[in-house]
Amino acid sequence: MTTSLSRIALSALIALLAGGAFVAFVGSATVVSLLTQAIIYAVFALGVGLLLRQNGLVSFGHAAFFGSAGYSVAVLLETQAVPAEAAIVLTLLGVTAVSFLLGLVFVRVPGIAFGMLTLAVGQMLFLTASRSRGLTGGADGMNINWPNTLFGVSTSALTEPHAMFALCWAALVLTMVALALLLRGRFGAITEAVRDNEERARFIGIRTLLPRAAVFALSGGVTALAGVLAALNTGFVSPENLHWSVSGVALMMVVVGGQGALWGPPLGAVVYFVLKDVLGGYADHWMAIFGAALIATIVFSPRGLVGALQRLVRRRAATPAVLPATPRGAVHH
Amino acid sequence: MLTINVFNGLVYGALLIVMCSGLALIYGLRRVVNFAHGSLYMLGAYLGYSIATYSSFWVALVAAPALMALLGICLDRFGFRLLQDRDPLTVVLVTFGLLMIIEDAVQTIWGKDNLSVPPPALLNASVDLFGTPVPAYRVGVMAIGLLVALGLTLWMRFSRAGLFVRAASTDPATTAMQGVNTDALSATVVGVGTALAGLAGVVAAPFLALSPSMSSDVLIDSFVVVVIGGLGSLSGAFVTALVLGLVQSVGAVYLPSASAILPFILMIAVLLWKPAGLAGSRT
């Protein structure tokens, strides 16, 4: 499973160049804005997918990290407690630290109950945010007062559609590179061993709680990055960002894209947004359409688009398909 | 003041009993956490609304759960049975897809506006409770919750089907080997569980408004109940449902700012202490 360093570097370089070419050649601001949103959700889905891939846990409450990152930036800027650059860094570190602490408790909860727990805690945040008065504006949400310059660049230039796309794309690619480097090392091996059989991992002397909590924290941190990008993109945060349906959509992207590869969840996000746009007038019924798509994916291609594509490539290469004895995420009792 | 809050808490607790017993039954036998359970409740409520509009509330009280039972049997036959060898998380995601489809269907058929069902004339009065007048309808809701709890307990303890369900929820493979038709059993149990979701919906309609968000509110509360009570445990769910109802309504008086998050704090505390829930050992 380990990917060589040169391959990671090459993929990243190609991806960054492709993003640059896209910005240079696509003129339509509508298309670019649509894909910017898709890329922000791709980062979000990357976070949710990381948890499923390395911990085998399905979260129905990741909107909590997405939304609270937005709120954290908004409140820090509103109170002018720290400069905007520090607000971004503090938010990312803060959400990661909080998710580590939460992870210490949550990851001990077995399988499905974990999903229910995350759903409930996420919805608790949603209720708290929509009922709160004052600074956060309750159900109406709050505007984010970005300063005129950010990291030495004028904010209006930064939030121009093409620049915003380039920023989000770079954030996605660099996050994926960082995760790929991290997971090809000891950390990846340990977390996969713990995911596949926690008891056995403990028997061979691995401390199992900390790596799992660390994955949870990392997953929360990546999702918070998506939240910060969304806050920059829209300049607005509301309880809707915390709603369980947002978590559900992110989870759907992960499943449809496929969790077998790091690029699966981001692919799911892009497919989701493009499909929703193509549906046009039928988009009122997107819930039913995507619900059916989710079920169809799980039943017919459990490894998502990644699995389907990998099968296609393998068939092209005319090598006999070699499937592992037990598929990823198989039942462990 | 406190009487009415305790009363309302118990009424909501009774509604949660009806909801959660369906959730616990389906989990017990099929090992499926049905994320669509709240949507089935909503579907039951809206079906009840339509039936009550064309005939009467009492017809709705019987017909809507009956229709939901049929739906549940189909759900088991064409859904859960085909997926029984899959990873439990996979099946959870299928029920999540189902949730999205049902939510969309309900919004398309009945619209997004709030609807209401008047309580039946027979119960449209108030009853004196320790000097406080309370709506008779809510006393009826409490009675239904108690009847469901009692009925299910007796069914599980003393019927042959109940014995099989208890056996199958401990070990489905061995139970099948002993000659129990677990597929037929499962159709019954999922049918009953879905009918209970529908019943909860019809019963809730006259005292909670019908709206597209009604499903997620009650689903979250039900999850809190079954996680605290222990997944698949009926008795755990009964007790926790009443406690949660009380915590919410009494909390609204003494800690109004924190009442929305009290159930979750309770849940986190219990999970810290017992990760498998109060009555749960099987996971």
- Interface pTM (ipTM) of the complex? 0.83
Distances (CA, A) of A320 to A146, A311, A312, B59, B238: 55, 10, 12, 61, 55
Q: What pLDDT score was predicted for residue A244?
A: 85
pLDDT at A299 over 50: yes
Q: Tens of pLDDT along B187-240?
A: 899 999 999 999 999 999 888 888 888 888 888 889 889 888 887 788 888 999
Tell me the H-state helices in A283-330: 286-300, 304-316
> Binning pLDDT at 50, 70 and 90, where does residue A174 land?
very high
Q: What pLDDT score was predicted for residue B199?
A: 95
What is the mean pLDDT of the segment spanning B237-250?
89
- Choice among A324-328, B24-28, B214-218 with the minimum mean pLDDT: A324-328
8 A C-beta contact, residue A265 and residue A45: yes
A295 vs A323, higher pLDDT: A295
pLDDT at B68 over 90: yes
Is A270 among the domain residues? Answer: yes
Question: Which residues of chain B does A127 touch, with a Cβ-Cβ cutoff of 8 Å?
Answer: 260-261
- Choice among A110-119, A219-228, A276-285, B132-141 with the minimum mean pLDDT: A276-285
Cα distance between residue B249 and residue A256, in whole Å: 41
pLDDT at B67 over 90: yes
pLDDT at B56 over 80: yes
Cα distance between residue A45 and residue B111, in whole Å: 31
- Choice among A55-59, A172-176, A210-214, A312-316 with the minimum mean pLDDT: A312-316
- Quick check: A295 and B108 CB within 8 A? no
What is the mean pLDDT of the segment spanning B25-53?
89
* DSSP code for A140: G
Mean pLDDT, chain A, whole residue set:
84
pLDDT at B283 over 60: no
Inter-chain CB pairs, A–B, below 8 Å? 115
What is the mean pLDDT of the segment spanning A178-186?
87
Q: Tens of pLDDT along A279-293?
A: 877 767 888 888 888
Q: What pLDDT score was predicted for residue B73?
A: 93
pLDDT at B81 over 90: no
pLDDT at A326 over 50: no
Q: What pLDDT score was predicted for residue A1?
A: 47
- Our CA angle for B231, B237, B241, nearest 5°, is 135
Is A322 among the domain residues? Answer: no
Q: What pLDDT score was predicted for residue A331?
A: 45
- Quick check: A288 and B268 CB within 8 A? no
Pick from A48, A52, A112 the residue to mutate for testing the B interface (most B CBs within 10 Å): A112
Is A323 among the domain residues? Answer: no
Mean pLDDT, chain B, whole residue set:
86
Per the structure, the complete domain to which residue A171 belongs is given by 5-316
Cβ-based interface (< 8 Å): residues of B facing A: 33, 35, 83, 86-90, 92-94, 96-101, 103-105, 108, 216, 220, 223-224, 226-227, 231, 260-261, 263-264, 267-268, 271-272, 275-277, 283
Question: What is the pTM for the complete model shown?
Answer: 0.84
Q: Tens of pLDDT along B115-136?
A: 888 888 777 777 777 777 788 8
% pLDDT > 90, chain A = 26
8 A C-beta contact, residue A232 and residue A159: yes
Is A324 among the domain residues? Answer: no
CATH of the domain at A202: 1.10.3470
Q: What pLDDT score was predicted for residue A319?
A: 53
Cβ-based interface (< 8 Å): residues of A facing B: 56, 58, 60, 105, 108-113, 115-117, 119-121, 123-124, 127-128, 131, 244, 248, 251-252, 255, 285, 287-288, 290-295, 298-299, 302, 329-331
CA-closest candidate to residue A232, choices A159, A150, A312: A159
pLDDT at A295 over 80: yes
pLDDT at A328 over 70: no
What is the mean pLDDT of the segment spanning A7-13?
84
Q: Tens of pLDDT along B88-103?
A: 778 888 898 999 899 9
Q: What pLDDT score was predicted for residue A2?
A: 56
Domain range annotation of chain B: 9-213
Number of domains in chain A: 1
- Quick check: B231 and A113 CB within 8 A? yes
% pLDDT > 70, chain B = 98
Q: Tens of pLDDT along A128-148?
A: 888 887 777 788 888 888 888
Q: What pLDDT score was predicted for residue A321?
A: 47
Is A326 among the domain residues? Answer: no
- Quick check: B90 and A298 CB within 8 A? yes
Is A120 among the domain residues? Answer: yes
Cα distance between residue A76 and residue A52, in whole Å: 31
Cα distance between residue A182 and residue A53, in whole Å: 14
Smallest Cβ–Cβ distance between B260 and the set A128, A244, A248 belongs to: A128
- Choice among A209-223, A265-279, B143-157, B248-262 with the minimum mean pLDDT: B248-262
pLDDT at B162 over 90: no
Question: Which residues of chain A does B98 touch, with a Cβ-Cβ cutoff of 8 Å?
Answer: 291, 295
Question: Which residues of chain A does B276 touch, with a Cβ-Cβ cutoff of 8 Å?
Answer: 110, 113
Which residues, in sequence order, are CB contacts of B178 under 8 Å at separation 6+? B167
- Quick check: B227 and A112 CB within 8 A? no
A62 vs A3, higher pLDDT: A62
Q: What pLDDT score was predicted for residue B281?
A: 56
Region of residue B111 (phi > 0: left; psi between -120 and 50: alpha; otherwise: beta): left
What is the mean pLDDT of the segment spanning A73-95?
90
